[in-house]
Amino acid sequence: MLKTIIAAATVSLTTLLAGSALAQATSDVVLRVGNYGGRFTETQKKYAADLFTQHTGVKVQFIDANPLDHIAKLVAAKGRNVPYDVIYIDGDLQPTAIEAGIIDKVDPAIVTNLDRLYDEAKNPDGYGPVQIFYSFGILYNVEKFKAAGIPEPTSWADLWDPRLAGKVAVGELSHGAGRALLIQAERLAGGDVSTPEKGIEKIAELKAHSYFSSTVQLEALFPTGDIWAAPIASGRGWGLIDKGFPLKFVLPKEGAVASTTTIEVVKGTPHVREANLFINYVLDPVAQVGQAWEIPYGPSNKSVAPVIAAYPELAQRLPGTVEEIRALFKPDWKVFWDNHEKAVELWQRLVIARK
């Protein structure tokens, strides 16, 4: 039913604008948008970019990579001939992008959907808003666990079960799942984000199957049965479950790490207006509900909360209310990134060198 409503809303919006000057506009502009790839990019194209192009004439070219790669390319460009106009990045990376001077503040006169966002989704200094809220938990293969006599994981510590040796995939520190696991490993070892050595040493004890830098890589491993468990973003985990694989997503008792994706105007883009307009489309209720339906991430647009609440099978999959968003575990990301260089050095020496 919800899928039907989304489709109808999209068709209605298209019909409404079909005769307008905006819909008839043509443009030679190609907006270059740095995104994550896989199903995430597919849904953004379907519910935001395609409508944006139809109504403005501006084409969208998605360039998929890890957000840290997007940031590295922009830093290397030094504001000249920047390779992107808009980028999606992990929320914990936003302070780094601001400090590097590679993103600009959004224009509230164009991004009018800012008024509809949760306060938690608004950057107090006016930089890119949160597009989605989500959490990192554990995705595991129900059939493999049952056959091996392994109970359902209820704690992050369960990933260290000896019976899972060689069956757990771990995100690299360049990936949000890797950073989330490091934070939980630090806590399991009696430390916090200021003591990465405790978390790295803990992860080094985990006999991992492999290390991934992209969720697309992870999504290819579960269907083959090569891996039985991994930390993963909630929406991507549910996406694999919906494909019919014998998987289950769980939130460990220690709590799930609160995570976000922000969407940013790139500093130096020659298409500032179009970049801001695209961001407004991404934050629109149609795009937000469509994204939540196909990949269950919590929308940042609070006006869609009643729609989400009306569908319990969807609401249970995501943080869809401000109370649920506030209940997630929120690390001190500034302290985390202050210690990141140390963590990377330890990771290379204690984890990668031993694999």
With b for 16 or more beta-carbon neighbours within 10 A and e for fewer, the 56-69 pattern comes to bbbebebbbbbbbe
Residues 13-40: tens digit of each pLDDT: 443 343 334 444 567 999 999 999 988 9
Q: Where are the domains of the chain?
A: 2-133+259-327, 135-257+331-354
Least confident of 4-13, 161-170, 187-196, 331-340: 4-13
The answer to whether domain 135-257+331-354 has CATH 3.40.190.10 is yes
Task: Give yes or no on whether 2-133+259-327 and 135-257+331-354 have one common fold.
Answer: yes
CA pair distance 282, 52, nearest whole angstrom: 9
pLDDT of residue 326: 77
Token readout for 289 is 């509900």
Count of CB atoms within 10 A of residue 20's CB?
10
pLDDT of residue 5: 41
Residues 212-271: tens digit of each pLDDT: 988 888 888 999 999 999 999 888 898 899 889 999 999 899 888 888 999 999 999 999
Lookup result for tokens 């059939």? 143
CA pair distance 46, 248, nearest whole angstrom: 27
Of residues 268, 68, 254, the one with CA closest to residue 172: 68
pLDDT of residue 18: 39
Q: How far is CA 262 from CA 133, 232, 299, 348, in A?
A: 9, 18, 12, 28
- Cα of first residue to Cα of last residue in the chain, in angstroms, is 48
CATH superfamily of 2-133+259-327: Periplasmic binding protein-like II (3.40.190.10)
| Helix/strand/coil (H/E/C) assignment for every residue in the chain | CHHHHHHHHHHHHHHHHCCCHHHHCCCCCEEEEEECCHHHHHHHHHHHHHHHHHHHCCEEEEEECCHHHHHHHHHHHCCCCCCCCEEEEEHHHHHHHHHHCCEECCCCCCCHHHHHECHHHCCCCCCCCEEEEEEEEEEEEHHHHHHCCCCCCCCHHHHHCHHHCCCEEEECCCCHHHHHHHHHHHHHCCCCCCCHHHHHHHHHCCCCCEEECCHHHHHHHCCCCCCCEEEEEHHHHHHHHCCCCCEEEECCCCCCEEEEEEEEEECCCCCHHHHHHHHHHHCCHHHHHHHHHHCCCEECEHHHHHHHHCCHHHHCCCCCCHHHHHHCECCCHHHHHHCHHHHHHHHHHHHHHHC
pLDDT of residue 24: 44
State the pairing for strand pair 86-90/30-35.
parallel
Lookup result for tokens 């392994």? 150
pLDDT of residue 327: 77
What integer best gives the mean pLDDT of the chain? 90
Residues 290-317: tens digit of each pLDDT: 999 888 899 999 999 999 989 888 888 8
Residues 84-123: tens digit of each pLDDT: 999 999 999 999 999 999 999 999 999 999 999 999 999 9
Average pLDDT of span 120-138: 95
pLDDT of residue 323: 77
Token readout for 105 is 């503040």
pLDDT of residue 26: 65
CA pair distance 195, 140, nearest whole angstrom: 28
